[in-house]
Structure 1
Amino acid sequence: MRATRKWFLLALQALALPVSAKSTTSKVTTTVLSTTSTSSASDILVVVTSASEVVPTGSYLSYTTTITLARNESRSTTETSTLTATNTTITNGTTTTATTTDTAVQLSGTRVLTSSSTATSSAGANSQPCNGYTEFCERKYSNITMVTAHNSPFVKKNNVASNQAYPVRTQLEDGIRMVSFEAHYYEDDIYLCHTSCELLNMGTLEAYLTNVTDWLKENPYEVVTVLIVNSDYVDPSNFTAPIQNSGLIDYAYEPWKIPMNVSDWPTLSEMILAEKRAVVFMDYQANQSAIPYILDEFSQMWETPFSPLNASFPCTVQRPPGITAAEAEERMYMINHNLDIEVIFEEVEILIPDTAQLNTTNAVSGYGSLGLMANNCRAKWDRPPNFLLVDYYNDGNFPGSVFEVAAAMNNVTYNGKCCGTTSDASQPVLSASLGVLLVVTWAGMALTWEML
């Protein structure tokens, strides 16, 4: 049986199918239709007959009191209004209160911000878009709905493990404002792999973040969020070198409080004028006291069920587990709206984007659509989601439908800016509606997918 599994994994490597490495709770039924073995070949047929949610496990931070940090934000600008904040720090039972003065600035349409430039303000109406819309400039970061590219780096032609069609620079040009990805400690560095570096390896985190940083340099009025999935639960110190060497450290936002609730976040214009326009979250093992620019995700944001395997997409809190409704209301939240297919063989779990359903999953309306889930979540929580996580953001009931949904959540008119002109990955079409037949021929190392 071990030999069979070895050949199975080698066959998966040939097609680079994603194999789940995290501990999960799952109820997936697979049926082996037939197994025949000879000295030269073995054919195994696996059918997915039912599947339920995959639940990742990990440690979660909780805070019984907040920690207030010194604000290190400098701005060179003409002051148009004053924001006064009272910071309370509790150290060894001693309370220290400090009052700081900040500026909220009206952006003009002609200014280019650099670390040495002097910004000027216009007394008239703002004409400079922030993250694509002038309306966003004076909104808090926590009061904007952004589209998230799930597994942003995994772009590979004719590969069923891919989650996106365009590289990260194109994603950002099209309007993606959060990028998420699995990161693995591999060969003494951090690599972006889905989900094993032996199966699909898209290179180092440093190289990927360099592309993000270059785009930020070229687009001085944009705020981007990076969500790191710490797949191997390694110490966050392993991520500091890629962030620093890529140059992203120059833009990394450091919050003034741990944890930040929805009312604590600055406006986009404040972040832009401070040139701290990259918010970096990590799902597990983050330590903000030691590394303040890598933010702990789940103490400041919650998520709906991870990697949904059915189109019902409930708007319930899955991670972090056990928080109250009142606690959830104080945090930002992300809806996971990437429909998957899961196959399990010999305890190996395979998650594959259900690309056949993208025209419905990423649609503006209808059962199973992103629009319906976003509206349901807004009704349930009395505020829109902050992040809409999707696969193949460019596909839907029309190109850019996911951005139409985000615009509706933000109460702005969609600017129609989507999607890139060339793609780096085709979308192998798989569907779980009637079941998926996986045919593996060991002798020829060939894998084919057929629809039942």
Structure 2
Amino acid sequence: MLIQAAAICLLYSSRAVAQSGSSSETDLGTGIATTLTGSNTASVTLNGGNYVAVTSRITYASNGETITFTSTGTSYSRPTDLSSVLANATGTSTGRNSTSATQTLLVGGTAASSGNSSSSIATATTSSARPTNTVPCNGYPEFCTRSYSNITHVCAHNSPFNRPGNIASNQELPVLSQLNDGVRMLQFQVHDQNGTLWLCHTSCELLNAGPLETYLQTVAEWMQRNPYDVVTILMGNYDVLPPDRFVEPVRNSGLLQYVYTPPKVPMSIADWPTIGSMLLQSQRLVMMLDYEADQNEIPWLLDEFSYVWETPFSPTEPSFPCTVERPPDQPEDMSRERLYMANHNLNLEVAIAGASLLIPASNALNVTNGLEGEGSAGWAVANCTSDWNRPPNYLLVDYYNIGSFNGSIFQVAANANGVSYDRDSCCDTTQRDFSSGAVTVMRPASSLLLALVAGTFLIFVW
């Protein structure tokens, strides 16, 4: 019975929406599993022990007009004194002007603030030579003056789902390790369980990673310790909930003070600010919702597909075409002006209890997350760069720490970004803490526990 229930649950990809306008049904004895395409999605609820498909209408926001935000809605009101945020790696604060958000990220010499707008990194006025910036923004000093839209960010697919022995898991290491290692985008799906938002993979009976608020609190505590990093969170609205349901967990977690509020919707790649200016304004959390976002009501909860398009998701073939799948029917000229995500997580299709299931292809991770060769992340990024004249903004992967060498996916991103990557920094070995200037050595990660024994998939539901 457990295997049958899991089979029904896993019929749904972690982000199950495709593009044409058809549907199909499979009767597995314990309920009806429905796979929908087009502008629909499917969710699964437990009804007296049976899994029953519940469908809801999904619509994509129209990009035909631009909306400029004139109010902050439910945004957090930020303090102007950012000295506690902009501390350098030695634990001392940089120069600041207490009457404005003017700061400097320049370290290594005497510098005075010039009073420039906080929308850009402040320049230094000094009689000596201008010092070199040594503070890493998102891990690299070069990123401080680079646009958010001009960086390839490594994204942990289904970030919270790292349960050993559960085939629904997509990661080996927890979110703190992901962030410490350099993951800068966290993606996952959210389910409504009796009025509380939980992190569940397809079904809370299959894999439950706890409340959304608890997970976000962990991220908030990390961001407090790491003031030079911009993080992106993409939430999957699995049950198609009203967007205001997501406000309280974000507020209670402590993350609301960091959210980025865009000036308008949609935005082209040229509209995005630099990483440095996002840090200076303490707007260093880009929060996205895949469906049902309403930025007129909640400006900081971004409608994903007004800003980002995605390549085909849940692929089972290592060809990884760099084509637009969502939003559907988006004109090419518009796609060229938007951020984009390369879904580079290879899946295996297996049959259990008469059902066809998709699970991470763990046996191919050394290639899929590798640096070179057909089907590798390096190869796919090169193809995307050729097709679109720029690399992906987000590289979504399973088991980010495993590849042709540990952390090879970060080397792929570094190559795309034109920076040098320290291979010894991965994985799960160090914890950066800029508030004290300390680097704490952590216990090495345990080996990956694969749920594959002699061709039999074992499920342990915790």
Q: Tell me, yes or no, whether TM beats 0.5.
A: yes
Residues 186-245 of structure 1, C-alpha deviations (whole Å, 9 max, x = no match): 121111101101111000100000000000000000000000011111111111111010
Secondary structure in structure 1 of the residue aligned to 2:278? helix
**Contact between 2:166 and 2:451, CA under 8 Å: does it hold in 1?**
no
Q: Give the whole-Å Cα distance in 2 for the aligned partners of 1:248 and 1:318.
A: 31
**Partner residue of 1:63?**
63
> Given that residues 157 and 424 in structure 1 are in contact (C-alpha distance below 8 angstroms), is that contact kept between their aligned partners in structure 2?
no
Partners of 2:184 and 2:133 in 1: CA distance: 21
Corresponding position of 1:152: 159
CA RMSD of aligned residues (A): 3.4
Whole-Å Cα distance in 2 between the matches of residues 120 and 382 of structure 1? 31
Does structure 2 conserve the Cα–Cα contact (< 8 Å) formed by 1:191 and 1:205?
Answer: yes
Matches within 5 A, 1:229-244: 229-244=236-251
- Name the amino acid aligned to 2:141: T
Q: Residue 56 and residue 400 in structure 1: after superposition, are their counterparts in 2 closer, same or farther (change >3 A)?
A: farther
Q: Aligned residue for 1:114? A: none
- Cα distance in 1 for residues equivalent to 2:2 and 2:177: 37
Specify the code of the residue in structure 1 equivalent to 2:360.
P
Equivalent position to 2:4, from 9, 19, 23: 9
Q: In 2 relative to 1, CA 266–11 (structure 1 residues): closer, same or farther, beyond 3 Å?
A: closer
Query: What amino acid sits opposite 1:9 in the alignment?
Result: Q
TM-score of the superposed pair, with normalisation by structure 2: 0.74
Displacement after TM superposition at 1:124 (Å): 2.1
SS in 2 for 1:263: helix
Shift of 1:125: 2.1
| Distance across 1 between alignment mates of 2:356 and 2:257 | 39
Q: Which residue of structure 2 lines up, in the alignment, with residue 115 of structure 1? A: none
- The whole-number CA distance in structure 2 between the counterparts of 1:150 and 1:282 is 15
In 2, the alpha carbon distance for the partners of 1:266 and 1:336 equals: 24
Counterpart selection for 1:420 from 422, 425, 428: 428
Map 1:108-257; keep pairs closer than 5 Å: 108-109=106-107, 122=124, 123-257=130-264
Q: Bigger relative contact order, structure 1 or 2, given CA contacts below 8 A and separation 6+?
A: 1
Distance 1:425 1:121 in 2: 47
Give the secondary structure class of the aligned counterpart of 1:137.
helix
Please state how far the C-alpha of 1:70 moved relative to its aligned partner. Answer: 3.6
Shift of 1:24: 5.4
Kindly tell me: are residues 376 and 196 of structure 1, through their superposed partners in 2, closer, same or farther at Cα, counting changes over 3 Å? same
* 3-state SS of paired residue (1:388): strand
What is the aligned counterpart of 1:263 among 266, 270, 289?
Answer: 270
- Going from structure 1 to structure 2, the CA distance change for 1:366 and 1:322 (only over 3 Å counts) comes to same
2:286 is paired with a residue whose SS is strand
**Matched residue SS, 2:271:** coil
Gaps of 5+ in 2: 23-36, 42-57, 73-77, 84-99, 112-117, 125-129, 430-443
Look up the equivalent residue of 2:132 and give its one-letter code: A
**Between structures 1 and 2, the one with greater strand share:** 1
Is the Cα–Cα contact under 8 Å of residues 369 and 397 in structure 2 kept in the other structure? yes
Report the Cα distance in structure 2 between the residues aligned to 1:358 and 1:157, rounded to whole angstroms.
Answer: 17
Note the C-alpha offset of 1:423.
Answer: 3.6
What secondary structure is seen at the aligned counterpart in 2 of 1:132? coil
Per the alignment, residue 48 of structure 2 pairs with none
Instruction: Flag the 1:437–1:371 CA change in 2: closer, same or farther, 3 A.
Output: same
Q: Specify whether residues 161 and 11 from structure 1 end up closer, same or farther in structure 2 by C-alpha distance, changes over 3 A only.
A: closer
Residues 298 and 227 of structure 1: is their aligned pair in 2 closer, same or farther, counting only changes over 3 Å? Answer: same
CA distance in structure 2 between the aligned counterparts of 1:232 and 1:347, rounded to whole angstroms? 26
Pick one of 298, 301, 304 that aligns with 1:291.
298
